[in-house]
A and B are shown apart, each in its own frame.
Chain A
Amino acid sequence: MKNGIPFELRSVELGRGEHLKPEFLKVNPLGKVPALKDGDFLLAESVAILLYLSRKYHAAAHWYPPELQACARVDEYLAWQHTAVQLPATNIYLCKSLLPYFSEQSVDPVCLDRLLGKLKPALQHLDREVLAAKPFLATEELSLADLMAFTELMQPTAVGCDVFQDWPRLAAWQARVEAALGPELVRDAHRLVLQPRDPRDAQRDPKLAQELVQRLLERLS
């Protein structure tokens, strides 16, 4: 949207198990979003998709700079974040929101605490080391690193786990990124995740709910 790239949105509602259906598995056999289809070319993995779009549509240089060392900094963040940020942040979201939604059980506070603990080292590193030295996560300007981090950290925040509360530089960074992206676009992108889910929706397909609960429990164990 920000780069004016023309695209058609194909909504894949994980909450309705649409990622497990044959039509979607043809696009990504691993059953995961995001996925891209450009003619016959299919691509998965958000980092790969962002790089593909940057290159194909000649996005502004700040997103993925051409300079060797600046580019390396963005690569460094994009690699690190898979296990340091994305994995724990997603797990917090699953524990706090999706698992209770499907299982109709209340949130497990022990599990949630443990998962929050797994995100903390990354938040501390970003706040105390990275953002102490510069305004954005990789370079002096907004890049793909900030975009990934912003949306990842919104996930637990959107369901009531404010991951910014102990980290003032990170909170300031978040505001800076939101301003650079545009508050309206940010609001639009986060519309769904910010809405509380209706528990009755989950039980429309009890079999699916059961399967998803199993997968979630295994993932969070």
Chain B
Amino acid sequence: MPLELFLDLYSPPCRAIYIFAMKNGIPFELRSVELGRGEHLKPEFLKVNPLGKVPALKDGDFLLAESVAILLYLSRKYHAAAHWYPPELQACARVDEYLAWQHTAVQLPATNIYLCKSLLPYFSGQSVDPVRLDRLLGKLKPALQHLDQEVLAAKPFLATEELSLADLMEFTELMQLPCLPSPLLLAAMSSKTGPGWQHGKPEWRLLWALSSSGMPTGLCYSLGTPGTPSGTPSWPRSWCRDCWSGSAEGGVAGPAPLHSPVPINMPCALRLPLASLGLGRWGLPTSEQNLEGQEMSRDDAA
């Protein structure tokens, strides 16, 4: 049985796992769990995670929840490069320190901002509550300040001198927020804050510029599928090779991709950071075929 990852790519921790697995060439089947359709509350998913939360992992009979636990499991099982979770005692402790701190300091407030600005209005039909949003933004600010003024003043990455699981988690968390332009976030997304390794690189300046312009750049907005105009907040039904289908939700009928998962389409702005992570246009680490059976190469980035 192949490794199964139950993810909703609207969710930052799910994206961290997705990126990690792709970047490390870990073979897996993506099981899409659409939170917006309540799929996390259905019996089939509750068998995988009784707490009804994504991400979740199924490796044969072994079930695992919690993004940090899943990232560590994948690092260890698939012998990911050492920089992700270093073997040295103190370097490792720094990554652990960030991964522990971020639950309440970053993830909780960042998620609440997203819920207030996007999901609640989406479901309730009401407009955004500005007072509440302001208060929630205020709860994230101390963390951003700490990272910008203390942590990144001393080193290029959040935990060590190299990219680690800490940066991956933070990155996907803050990527949620470019969809939600606001003065505080634009300040936070300025060239001083953000994943350190991208300082000064053209790709990142473009991404931040796109964010500031208010154009939807985050995964949750501009991911389209062939045949669906970009900018429609729709989601491909499933990217898993086995259950991928050309359904009315916007997928394209045709032969299943040779390798799974294959992101059906990638927004321009996301391709840029993916390129800098060594992933090509289709988010694949090596030469692969796209949906039309055309060979893509690693260099085929935006």
Contacts and interface: CB of A to CB of B under 8 A. Distances in A.
A189 to B, nearest CB: 21
A46 B101 CA distance: 9
B76 A30 contact: no
Interface string B64-99: 111111001100110000000000011011101101
A49 to B, nearest CB: 8
Given A29-B146, A45-B101, A129-B50, A80 B66 contact: yes
Nearest to A40: B90
Given A41-B90, A52-B89, A79 B97 contact: no
A44 B94 CA distance: 9
Interface stretch (A68-76, A94-102, A180-188, A201-209): A68-76
Interface in B156-214: none
Nearest to B102: A82
Interface residues of A, number: 29
Given A75-B72, A82-B100, A125-B51, 4 more contacts: A29-B146, A52-B92, A72-B73, A87-B104
B108 A29 contact: no
A46 B50 contact: no
Given A52-B89, A56-B89, A129-B50, A79 B67 contact: yes
Nearest to A76: B69
Interface residues of B, number: 28
A30 B146 contact: yes
A60 interface: no
Contacts of A45: 96-97, 100-101
* Residue from A56, A68, A76 whose CB has the most chain B CB atoms within 10 Å: A76
A69 B68 CA distance: 14
B105 to A, nearest CB: 8
B93 A48 contact: yes
20 contacts: A29-B150, A30-B101, A41-B90, A43-B94, A43-B97, A48-B100, A51-B92, A55-B89, A68-B73, A71-B72, A72-B72, A75-B68, A75-B69, A78-B100, A80-B65, A83-B103, A83-B104, A83-B108, A125-B51, A129-B50
Interface string A31-72: 000000000010111111101100110000000000011011
B193 to A, nearest CB: 17
Nearest to B138: A218
A83 B104 CA distance: 7
Interface of A: 29-30, 41, 43-49, 51-52, 55-56, 68-69, 71-73, 75-76, 78-80, 82-83, 87, 125, 129
Interface of B: 50-51, 62, 64-69, 72-73, 76-77, 89-90, 92-94, 96-97, 99-101, 103-104, 108, 146, 150
A82 B101 CA distance: 9
Nearest to B61: A69
Contacts, number: 79
Contact of A47 (B62, B67, B73, B100): B100
B115 to A, nearest CB: 14
5 smallest A-B Cβ distances: which pairs? A75-B69, A48-B96, A82-B103, A79-B66, A45-B100
A66 to B, nearest CB: 10
Contacts of B50: 125, 129
A43 B92 CA distance: 11
B51 A43 contact: no
A82 B94 CA distance: 18
Contacts of B62: 69, 72
B69 A72 contact: yes
B104 A68 contact: no
A108 B73 CA distance: 43
A75 B92 CA distance: 14
A99 B92 CA distance: 37
A20 to B, nearest CB: 14
Nearest to A130: B50
A67 to B, nearest CB: 10
B215 to A, nearest CB: 32
A29 B67 CA distance: 27
Contacts of A83: 103-104, 108
Contacts of B146: 29-30
B30 to A, nearest CB: 20
Nearest to B65: A76
Contacts of B101: 30, 44-45
